[in-house]
Amino acid sequence: MQTIPSLAHAARALLACSLAATALAQAQPQAEGYPTKPVKVIVPFSAGGVVDSVARIISDKLSTQYGKPFIVENKTGAGGSIGTDYVAKSAPDGYTLLAVSPSHAVAPALQKSITWNPVRDFKAIAGFGYVPNIIVVHPSLPAKTMAEFVALAKKSEPPLTYATAGLGTSNHLSGELLAQEAHIALAHVPYKGQSEALNDLLSGRVNMMPLTSALAIPHVKSGKLRALAVTTAKRSSASPDLPTVAEAAQLPRYNVGTWFGFVAPANTPAPVLQKLSADIAQILAQPDVKTKLESLGMELAPQNAEQFDSFIAQESEKWGQVIQQAGIEPN
């Protein structure tokens, strides 16, 4: 009585193995021969920015390695959502990639019109590293350490102000997370860009700014700004004597940085993703690449495809909760 079911089960198992072997056989040549034509790398922001610069450094090396052009295209608009949506709807064949930064995980919580999902609609290729922000204040503010700033903020009326490059930017997220973790009130003052925000900080119109390290360090050295802490979990190699917010203010969960990487549309063949991931890891280890990326203020922290997928999912959940708790309504 059990013979027929056993044979049926065996037949199904054999069929499943056969289909898996066929799929692997079909996918493997895609990895071995990839790429056979130019690859588009979509940057959802303007040319000349950090995301664009990072994408071009990696793309140039991939072009050299594979002997096929990796062409960077800037598709801007809607805070990066237009270019991201374009890639989400592109063929999942490895010939359209997306350069990503924190907005990839944050934007869906800020814009009602977004239909793509950073976890559902994309597969990670590799993470490159991150650029820390530095919490800087105008020298007129009577706070010389992060702990003193938190203490001052707790008794300030009206609240201390902090400048950002706009809603949902790394500056904004750094300030909002600080307010939530330290249980302080801070007044967000958004600008159209980081340079405009920096100008008002330098003039003393605002009290504080979580500023990109590459921009902050020259003003700190000149005495025009005072540095209190870096926003990332680890100290910055560019400012090793500067403590992290987590250690200086006893806020162990505090960690914010502007991260970078490449992703592809969901359903892109795994062997292609793995090949790109492995080759990018080798590229990131090249001395000239490290020098170029570090000149942009980046701390190298390579992540493979699986690690970067997990990281993006965690970032999406983390910032969705922060935005909800802050009461920020999607536009």
Question: pLDDT tens for residues 122-178?
Answer: 999 999 999 999 999 999 999 999 999 999 999 999 999 999 988 888 899 999 999
Low-confidence ranges of the chain (pLDDT < 50): 1-29
For residue 35, is the peptide bond before it cis, meaning its omega torsion is within 30 degrees of 0?
yes
By the 8 A CB rule, do 126 and 257 touch? no
277: Cα separation from own chain's centroid: 17
pTM of the model: 0.85
What's the pLDDT score for residue 30? 59
Query: What pLDDT score was predicted for residue 6?
Result: 43
On whether the CB atoms of residues 41 and 83 are closer than 8 A, the answer is no
Q: How many CB atoms lie within 10 A of CB 72?
A: 19
Name the one residue in this structure whose structure tokens are 């965690």.
314
**Cβ-contact 305, 273 below 8 angstroms:** yes
How many C-beta atoms lie closer than 10 Å to residue 196's C-beta? Answer: 14
